Chains A and B, each alone.
Chain A
Amino acid sequence: MADIIVNDRLASLLSQCGLGNRKAFAELYDSTKSKLFAVSLRIVRERHIAEEVLQDSFVNIWNNAAKYAAAKSAPMTWMTAIVRNRSLDIVRRPMVEVADEDDYFALNMEDATPGPADQLAAGRDRVKIERCMKGLDGEQLQTISLAFFHGLSHSEVADHLGRPLGTVKTHIRRGLQKLKGCLES
């Protein structure tokens, strides 16, 4: 229920932003900044670039808030996609160290105390993708997690795992196909 209430609140704030309400925009920023900053930081890795991404993304969110309703997606999904796209558009960095255990952890966190992040989530969607992710085999889960959480490209994933590029591409492609089958079943 909390998920639904928070999502309604965010959707309402977005529509007020669409009407030019700066106060609603400030509340929207405060409610989502830490989550969205974390999303960008994971991908771009450099704090000052993640700050730029967050700034650009929120200006973009403000400018496009009136069009949010037409997107027909959950507010956090819509905003997260803007931040991820912006991050992926500008990311250009040398290979960095990543810990894949980190993501394994992320997928095994359900026992943890629900924090603000969980309350922001569209719970049903999250449960579904988690269930489907768990249906992937180890290599598929690992490659897709590295790409999603850390913004690694095919070749970066290949470097990180010490696997041939073609193998990584195959794992990702087959993993995504499997996810699709599960998610849309």
Chain B
Amino acid sequence: MKLASPELRDRLASEFVLGTLRGPARRRFQEYLKRDAALRADVARWEAHLTPLADHLPEVDPPARVWSRIEAQLDRSGGTKSAAATTGFWGSIGFWRTLGLGASGLAAVLLFSMLTVKPVPLDQEPVLTAVLAEDNNDARIYIEQPKSNLLTVKMVKPWKANGGIAHELWVIPKDGAPRSLGVISGTSDTTINVAGLDARLANGALFAVSLEPPGGSTSGAPTGKVVCKGSIAWMPPKTARPNSQI
């Protein structure tokens, strides 16, 4: 990797911060960073530019055990600053690396965490999220499953009240017919109890809302115009999946 050209340096800094610089290229770049103050400045500038985007992510509470572990780790080091602290901010990379987290040590740490981790109970965290948008990409609805037995349908941009028309929510599996989750309010948030509906959500790839007669479609399939739709993000995973990582 030649870092002579300012354009190349800046491009690599931008892709490092964006996250698309991966594997050996990422590690080589981190080596350059340690000894190149100008490059660190490039990275800092891109971080200042791009990281505010993360402010939009919906917050997720970590479990209490994380804090317990942090405290335990600090207690083990006597609550004082470790020697790694003396190398400065970008020394933090060195700090991680010396812990062995850059290479094979990472496997050991992950393996240990997998052996000790318990599957996360479904009721603790969101199971799925989806954003339903119009064809022009304007978001209308945000759907979340905060608990295994509950779907919340939140209006991003409510429709105007229209007494004669029902908004019906459908889940569409990867290959199969739409399944109705019932009529939702077009003007305010709706909570849907999904107890016993898990089969309907299974393999769901998309949510869609169609306009239907009052009370909803009588045919079991959408009959009116689809006013918004969005793919389902199954995240975070329902349970820890140890085998998928290493």
In the complex, B232 has a CB within 8 A of chain A: yes
**A22 CB within 8 Å of chain B:** yes
Structural contact, B61 and A37, CB atoms closer than 8 A = yes
The reply to whether A151 and B131 contact each other, CB–CB distance below 8 Å, is no
The answer to whether A38 and B55 touch across the interface, beta carbons within 8 angstroms, is: no
Interface status of B168 (Cβ within 8 A of chain A): no
Q: How far is the CA of A56 from the CA of B91 in the complex (A)?
A: 14
The verdict on A37 contacting B62 (CB below 8 Å), with A71-B44, A104-B137, A129-B50 known, is yes
- Using C-beta atoms within 8 Å of the partner chain, give the interface range for chain B: 35 or more
A84 B51 Cβ-Cβ under 8 A: yes
Flag whether B1 is at the interface (Cβ < 8 A): no
Contact of B92 among A64, A84, A133 (CB under 8 A): A64
Inter-chain contact A48/B57, CB cutoff 8 Å: no
- Decide if A85 is an interface residue (CB 8 Å cutoff): yes
Q: Is A34 an interface residue (CB 8 A)?
A: yes
Query: CB of B125 within 8 A of chain A?
Result: yes
A78 to B129, CA, bound (A): 28
Contacting residues, chain B, for A49 (C-beta < 8 A): 110, 113, 245
Interface SS of chain B: mixed
In the bound complex, CA of A29 to CA of B74 (Å)? 14
Q: List the A side residues contacting B117 at CB < 8 Å.
A: 48
What CA separation (Å) do A20 and B80 show in the bound complex? 7
The answer to whether A183 and B49 touch (CB under 8 A), given A48-B240, A104-B131, is yes
B230, chain A: closest CB distance, angstroms: 4
Contact in complex: A46, B241 (CB < 8 Å): yes
Q: Does A120 have its Cβ within 8 Å of any Cβ on chain B?
A: yes
**Do B70 and A99 touch across chains, with their CB atoms under 8 A apart?**
no
Is B195 located at the chain interface by the 8 A CB criterion? Answer: no
B234 cross-chain contacts in A, Cβ below 8 A? 97
Within 8 A of B (CB), among A26-77: 26, 29, 33-35, 37-39, 41-43, 45-52, 54-56, 58-60, 62-64, 66-68, 70-74, 76-77
| A101-B231, A105-B131 known; A29+B70 contact, CB < 8 A | yes
List chain A residues, Cβ under 8 A from B236.
41, 45-47, 50
Known: A37-B62, A46-B244, A66-B85. 13 other contacts (CB 8 A): A22-B79, A46-B245, A62-B70, A64-B92, A70-B88, A74-B48, A77-B47, A92-B246, A101-B139, A105-B131, A147-B18, A147-B20, A176-B18
10 examples of A-B residue contacts, CB within 8 angstroms: A25-B74, A26-B67, A51-B65, A55-B66, A64-B89, A77-B47, A90-B106, A94-B244, A100-B231, A109-B156
